[in-house]
Structures are given as C-alpha cells and as structure tokens.
A and B are shown apart, each in its own frame.
Chain A
C-alpha cells in the first residue's frame, strides 16, 4: 500500500529577517542577539518550508513602578519593580527573557512626566544591567515620544534596539532617529491591516530599510478581541507568503499588556470566588493569549508575568521541536 504524501502549499514570499542586538565586535555591548523572521511558510509548518527562527520572548518592564498592575504581577516582581535595572536583570536571570521591553511609561505627561534626559539615563542603566537586546517603547503620547525617543535612541546608538512606535500620523522623527543610530522600529496600526501596510510604505518612502521594521497590529487578549488580532495577523502573513513585500515583516504582540487588562486576570478570589485561583488565573490567561497568537504569525511576544514568559518559551520549544 502506498503511503500518503504531505500536501504542501507553495509559497512565493519570505518574511524578512531581523537581527536585534549588537555585540562589542559589532559596535554595541550586547552579549546575546535575537534573530526573528525569515520564515517561508506558516508558523511551525516545518514540513512545508523554512521556519527560520523561533518566536522571541520579551519581558516588559517599566521605567517607573506601575500603579495599576494586579497583585499576581506585583507579587511576582516585588521590589525589583522599583529599579528598571534590577527588574531587567531579574527578568533575564529568572525567566530567561530573550529581550527586555523597556516601556517609558513614566515619561507620559500625566504619569511622572520624566524628561528625555532621565529616560535616556534609564536606557543606559538597563543596557548596563543586562546583555540581551532592548525594545524601547515610548509612552504613546506623540509629542512627548518625539522628544524622548530620539534621546533614548542616541543613548543606545549602535546597540541595534527595537524602537516603538511609529504610527501613520507620527513616524518621521522615529524613522530619522532609528536611521541615525542603527536601530529598528515598530510600526503601530490599530487593528487595521490597510494602515499596517500604509505605515510600511510611508517608512520605506523615507529610505528606511523595510527589513528593519516590525509590525504591531495591536493585540487583543483572550476574550477581548483576540480573534480580530488573529485574523488580521493571519491575513497579513498569508499576503506576505503570497509575495506582498510590504507585508513581509515580523510581527510583535504586546501580550502581557493586554491580557492583564482583562477582568478575568484582575478580579480577586473574593470578587469572583468561582473563577479559580486568582494567583494563577491571569498567568494562564496571558499564556493562552500568547499560545493562540503564535499560530497566526507572531515573532516577538512581550510578556508580563515571569511564569507566563517561562511557560511560553517552553510552549515554543515544544512546538518547534
């Protein structure tokens, strides 16, 4: 009896390959680098095409202690949250973070209003504390980000960081900084595939290399729009593999940020006695969100809970084999 052969799809496109982090020999000071993208088939379909790199797991830290993170998160990180450098080190040493995503929340005019100089100093502290590459994320206030991110970009010049985020209305300053200092950048589009593509076109029109752009189509958590994110990412990935160069870019997901906004992750046992153990409920919520999004084509997963980050790395290993 003849055996059945694998039914394989023929793809014509390949996701661009992005390297984050530069070692001393390359003009930076990183002790490790992260390569994402490069795949020529859908996630984990190794029998069909090249799955060139594994999705990278980043841990999100803040430049200032968050005031609204639920207990499971604050208890897990403890006093480390008071110092970005300590926090970053703990994330790398205790849960094997491959990247640190430094969110400059404290620069927001309504949340500390730290100066560009202070933000740049924090970037330098974190660079000194850990050897993994950095994602540097502004406070999502265009005017402030346009002051803060260039200073941070310069402070990390040559380190091949990933800077976030460029939007359709506000991208020129960030593109110029990343161009000057050798970083890559994130293009943010609010669950809109047409705008995701538009940002890529705008950025590349400024002469910025597309293979240094990561798409952030914004992330929906389990129960809060996960399906929308999933279908947009999947459609983008199918277009990319079908040969659309403007969509052939790695994708980043802010999993922790979204999962820990869900009431299912925040409610205490007293508030919701039938929802299960409050200490682990949110971790599973975050992990389930991440595990689902991996399948639609996600390349950098930014996590918040150390146990969710560790478990996600394990999940990826099991899927990649």
Chain B
C-alpha cells in the first residue's frame, strides 16, 4: 500500500502560517511525523491562501523545505502545469515525485503525461473530464482507459500511473462509495501490469460525524476491491491499523503477532 500523507497542505493552519512566514520548521516537523507514522509519499499542496500568482514560488519553497528532511517521493499537488513543473524540478533533485494530478481531457492528459515522461515520475489521473466528475462506473472506467492510453502514448510506464475514481462526501452522495468500489476492481483489470488505484480518502467524510470511522471502514472495503494507494492522514492510528489489517487479510503480507508494529518498522 502506498500511503500518501496529506498533511503538508496550506489549508491546515500550521502549514498555511509556515508558508506565510517562510518558517520551515512546522513543515519539516509534519513531514517527519507522517513518515514515522508510515507514509511512503508526502503530498505537497500550497492551499488557497497563497495568491494564484505566487503559488509556483510557494510550491518551490514547500518542496525544498520538505526535501531537506526526506528523499521519499513527493506528490506535487496542484492543477497548474507550470506550478507542477516547478515542484517537480525541486523534488527530483534528490528523489522521486508524483504528479497530483491530471484530469481526463485529451489536451490536459497529453500535456501532463509529457511532463511525467520528462521527469520520469508517477502521475495521478482523476476520473474527471470536460463533463465534470464521472458519476457512473462505466464513465469512470472510460476515463481510466483514456488515461492509460495517454500514458502509453507518452512512454510513461503503466506502473507509474495512479487512477483515482474520485470519492465524494458520503453525506452528499451515498451512491458513490459503492460505485467507487466497483470502479476500483475494474481499474485493476484495465491493463497488465495493472495501474495503481488511489483515492483521496478524507473527502469521503467531509462534513460528517465519525470521520475516522467512515474513512477506515471504506479503506478496508477499498483494499478488498484492489486499492493500493491512498491519500490520507497517516497519523490516524486506527486508520493505519485498519489498513494494515485489511492488507493482511488480503494476504499481502505474512502474519506475525506483532504485524502492526512490523508495519512501522518497514523502513
């Protein structure tokens, strides 16, 4: 399971303030805490407090601050091609990166895949296109197919592609979680080797009570359907334990009495 830690995001007060005052410490502290909790990849998102014109520069600063404490892959989380390029340039100086993310319009796919090939990085493809968020399993899979075709066209290995079926808040749309589970299983059958499948998990419980419970219950179901990457808060211990246990039950690792501890000793 590739855990993409979501906590370096300008929307969180500590990181937003750090960006404003150019104080690296809170950023690096958050990076280290997430890695210690099991994160494999760290998402880097400048948030919306930074004015649009300054986001590329803010991305560069945030990536560089994080890079000082880890060589793990960084997920460059921004919709702008230019800002992503700036982030990749900084991140790939000492490690790998993932583009987070592209949507499924033909021109966007082509441009982002070209960028992924240039930097030899992974890329997340969302089940969104010119018609908005794909709402049915068929529509999600169709965008997934187009994303893989665009990757192959641009010489991006399928093993570097992460398809995101898009999960919506359960209190807005209760049909989507079931559709997403179906889609995950179908994404996995799109090619051999299969693409990775990722979700932005926390979105599921936006505005709900019992956020952590909802997140971890869905994560277990999704792992059962074939999910192998997730953007979430790795410091949610119960979520992590559920994830590790779900993987154990799917025979992704060898059981031992201390399997939960072993997960945190993995590096």
A residues near B, CB below 8 A?
193-195, 197-198, 201-202, 204-205, 235-236, 239, 244-247
Residues of chain A contacted by B267 (CB below 8 angstroms): 245
30 A-B residue pairs with Cβ-Cβ distance under 8 Å, sorted by A, are A193-B254, A194-B254, A194-B255, A194-B256, A194-B257, A195-B256, A197-B254, A197-B256, A197-B259, A197-B262, A198-B257, A198-B258, A201-B256, A201-B258, A201-B261, A201-B262, A201-B265, A202-B258, A204-B265, A205-B258, A205-B261, A205-B265, A235-B254, A236-B254, A239-B253, A244-B253, A244-B254, A245-B265, A245-B267, A246-B256
Residue of A nearest to B255 (CB): A194
Q: State in angstroms the CA–CA spacing of A197 and B248 once bound together.
A: 14
Question: B-side binding surface: helix, strand, loop or mixed?
Answer: loop
Q: Which of B255, B257, B261, B262 has the most CB of A within 10 A?
A: B262
* B266 contacts across to A, CB distance below 8 A: 245-246
User: Which residue of chain B is the closest to A205 with respect to CB atoms?
Assistant: B261
Q: Count how many chain B residues have C-beta atoms less than 8 Å from C-beta atoms of the other chain.
A: 12
Alpha-carbon gap, A235 to B258, bound state (A): 19
A197 to B254, CA, bound (A): 8
Q: Within 8 Å CB of B261, what residues of A?
A: 201, 205
Known: A197-B255, A201-B265. 8 other contacts (CB 8 A): A193-B254, A194-B257, A197-B259, A198-B257, A201-B256, A204-B265, A205-B261, A247-B254
* A residues near B265, Cβ cutoff 8 Å: 201, 204-205, 245-246
Q: Is the CB of B262 within 8 A of A239?
A: no
Residues of B within 8 A of A202 (CB): 258
Distance A214 CA – B257 CA, assembled complex (angstroms): 20
Cβ-closest chain A residue relative to B260: A201
Chain B: minimal CB distance from A197 (Å): 4
CA distance A186 to B253 in the complex (A): 22
Q: Which residue of A lies closest to B159 (CB)?
A: A10
Indicate the member of A194, A195, A244, A246 with the most B CB atoms within 10 Å. Answer: A246
Instruction: Provide the residues of chain B in CB contact with A195, threshold 8 Å.
Output: 256
Q: Which residues of A contact B258 (CB under 8 A)?
A: 198, 201-202, 205
- With A and B bound together, what is the CA distance between A262 and B253 in angstroms? 34
Cα(A247)–Cα(B256), bound, Å:
11
By beta carbon, the residue of chain A nearest B267 is A245
Q: Are A198 and B256 in contact (CB under 8 A)?
A: yes
CA distance A120 to B261 in the complex (A): 37
Contact residues in A for B259 (Cβ distance below 8 Å): 197
Chain A residue at minimum C-beta to C-beta distance from B265:
A204
Closest to B257 in A: A198
How far, in Å, is B115 (CB) from chain A's closest CB? 24
Residues on B with C-beta less than 8 A from A236 are 254
Which residues from chain A contact B257 at a C-beta distance below 8 Å? 194, 198
Q: Which of B226-267 contact A (CB under 8 A)?
A: 253-259, 261-262, 265-267
